[in-house]
Amino acid sequence: MRFEKLIAQRFLQKDKGNFSQPLIKIATLSIALGVLVMILAVSILRGFQKEITHKVVGFGSHIVVNNFDVGTAYEQQPIENNRPIVDRILAVDGVKHVQYFATKGGMIKTSDQIQGIMLKGVSSNFDTAFFEENLLEGRLFKFEDTVASNEIIISKTLADKLNFKLDDKVRTYFWQDNNYRARAFKVVGIYSTDLTEFDDAFIIGDIRTVQKLNNWADNQVGGYEILVDNFDNLPYLASQIYDMLDYDLTLTTVVESQPDLFSWLELLNTNIVLILGAMALVCMVSIISALLIMIFEKTSMIGLLKTLGATNRSIRRIFIYKSISIIGVGLLIGNIVAFAFVVLQSKFQFISLNKESYSMSAVPVDLNGWTYLLVSIGTMAACLLALLVPTGFISKVRPAKTIRVE
């Protein structure tokens, strides 16, 4: 064992008479608290970003391909669902699924209320996983073999506002060719995504209903919704798909269709950087303060070691070993507490949120091992870099002066 480690280990022995011991405990707790805040900040903000993105993509898709002549907000221009372009899109590496959809604007009329809505018709190949996990009551609608299904699912927001329950009949009216068309639907399911923009407007049903309302052929749809394997690859995949589109088709990514939302989510990254920087500074100041006190307290020991032939570099190692032990204990405590919080919050969701303000009912957390590893490595590196300041005082200690004082 190198003599620096041996002395550092002896130096680790608790001495209640030392003034530095309370400061060491404070420094350890400060580092633990800093690491805890950094990990929780990253986990919560990343969880928030993932949850919002998951909901927006789940309600629609990553990429939408529709007619270049987009029409109005309530009237789509159809495209064919059996075009060769669909097979080419599915062949792109990274594309997970392609499904068909169509929308139609209308209104729901009850005995005392009128509510504007958007009917989103989906096909039998629709990926229902998102609505299954957000279904509060009932079931998803069933597709009939030969006729359009009259079953729909509506949001809890609309159900509460219009006093609808399962199996209730919903009377709707859609404008078409300077006239209105009435349709009656049966509520078979109630969902909630906590996204006000969608929950306030959309009901989900059979695409064949929209086709009939618009006088479309059976092979005409409003567009293609494309799901990809990895959201991070969205710009690249969107560029690839766009290059293969026919002249009468256009493409929109979920980031382009919701620019305000994704700009806000991107802004959260700035908050993460600020929090990491502030907490790293707290850790650095804590370890610098503790080490300076230890150096001043052990000035006579430093002078004696120099008298016995120890170099400044060797003495620095002694204090660095001591500091690493303080940092290591702080990192361990911070990681354990942060991990426990994230696991408990993800399982029990004991910290709730106002879903109308945050679009979710509980604080979301992202359990990612890389967060713990990178925060720990970054904190250790920052603290070790900070040690250059206090250890510089070791070279200024004069053995003759310290021994004479003793």
Give the domain range for residue 151. 69-246
Say whether 156 sits in a helix, a strand or coil.
helix
Confidence at residue 404, expressed as pLDDT on a 0 to 100 scale: 54
> Taking the model in full, what pTM does it have?
0.80
Are 96 and 20 part of one and the same domain?
Answer: no
The 10s digit of each residue's pLDDT in 86-132 is 889 999 999 999 999 999 989 998 888 889 899 999 988 888 889 99
Mean pLDDT of the region 23-44: 89
Are 242 and 271 part of one and the same domain?
Answer: no
Are 78 and 10 part of one and the same domain?
Answer: no
Confidence at residue 384, expressed as pLDDT on a 0 to 100 scale: 84
Is residue 62 included in any domain, yes or no?
A: no
CA dist., res. 308 & res. 70, Å (int): 85
Q: What are the distances in angstroms from CA 62 to CA 46, 48, 58, 97, 199?
A: 19, 18, 9, 10, 19
Mean pLDDT of the region 251-260: 90
Are 372 and 330 part of one and the same domain?
Answer: yes
The 10s digit of each residue's pLDDT in 139-185 is 998 887 778 888 999 999 999 999 999 999 999 998 877 778 889 99
Are 126 and 151 part of one and the same domain?
Answer: yes
The 10s digit of each residue's pLDDT in 274-294 is 888 989 898 888 888 887 777
| Residue 66 phi, psi dihedral angles, 5° rounding | -145, -175
Higher pLDDT pick, 392 / 294 = 294
Instruction: Report whether 131 contacts 203 (CB < 8 A).
Output: no
Is residue 172 included in any domain, yes or no?
A: yes
Confidence at residue 22, expressed as pLDDT on a 0 to 100 scale: 78
Are 99 and 45 part of one and the same domain?
Answer: no
CA dist., res. 136 & res. 282, Å (int): 45
Confidence at residue 236, expressed as pLDDT on a 0 to 100 scale: 93
Are 113 and 182 part of one and the same domain?
Answer: yes
Are 15 and 145 part of one and the same domain?
Answer: no
Higher pLDDT pick, 103 / 319 = 103
Instruction: Examine the pLDDT at 74 and tell me if it is beyond 60.
Output: no
Is residue 253 included in any domain, yes or no?
A: no
Residues making up the chain, counted from first to last: 406
Confidence at residue 71, expressed as pLDDT on a 0 to 100 scale: 57
Confidence at residue 10, expressed as pLDDT on a 0 to 100 scale: 66
Confidence at residue 65, expressed as pLDDT on a 0 to 100 scale: 92
Q: How many structural domains compose the chain? A: 2
Confidence at residue 137, expressed as pLDDT on a 0 to 100 scale: 92
Instruction: Report whether 184 contacts 150 (CB < 8 A).
Output: yes
Confidence at residue 143, expressed as pLDDT on a 0 to 100 scale: 84
Confidence at residue 395, expressed as pLDDT on a 0 to 100 scale: 62
Sort strands 169-176 and 114-122 into parallel, antiparallel or unpaired. unpaired
Q: What are the distances in angstroms from CA 91 to CA 88, 165, 223, 225?
A: 5, 43, 18, 15
Are 35 and 96 part of one and the same domain?
Answer: no
Is residue 96 included in any domain, yes or no?
A: yes
Instruction: Examine the pLDDT at 11 and tell me if it is beyond 70.
Output: no
Confidence at residue 154, expressed as pLDDT on a 0 to 100 scale: 94
**Sorting pLDDT into bands at 50, 70 and 90, what band is 261?**
confident
Residue ending a domain, among 211, 246, 281, is 246
Are 182 and 146 part of one and the same domain?
Answer: yes
Higher pLDDT pick, 83 / 129 = 129
Confidence at residue 19, expressed as pLDDT on a 0 to 100 scale: 59
Is residue 311 included in any domain, yes or no?
A: yes
Are 219 and 96 part of one and the same domain?
Answer: yes
Is residue 64 included in any domain, yes or no?
A: no
Instruction: Examine the pLDDT at 269 and tell me if it is beyond 90.
Output: no
Confidence at residue 375, expressed as pLDDT on a 0 to 100 scale: 92
Mean pLDDT of the region 248-252: 90
* Per-residue 3-state assignment (H helix, E strand, C coil) for 79-114: EECCCHHHHHHHCCCCEEEEEEEEEEEEEEECCCCE
65: enclosing H helix or E strand: strand 63-67
The 10s digit of each residue's pLDDT in 223-247 is 999 999 999 899 999 999 999 988 8
Are 80 and 215 part of one and the same domain?
Answer: yes
Residue ending a domain, among 201, 220, 246, is 246
- pLDDT above 70 covers a percentage of the chain that reads 89
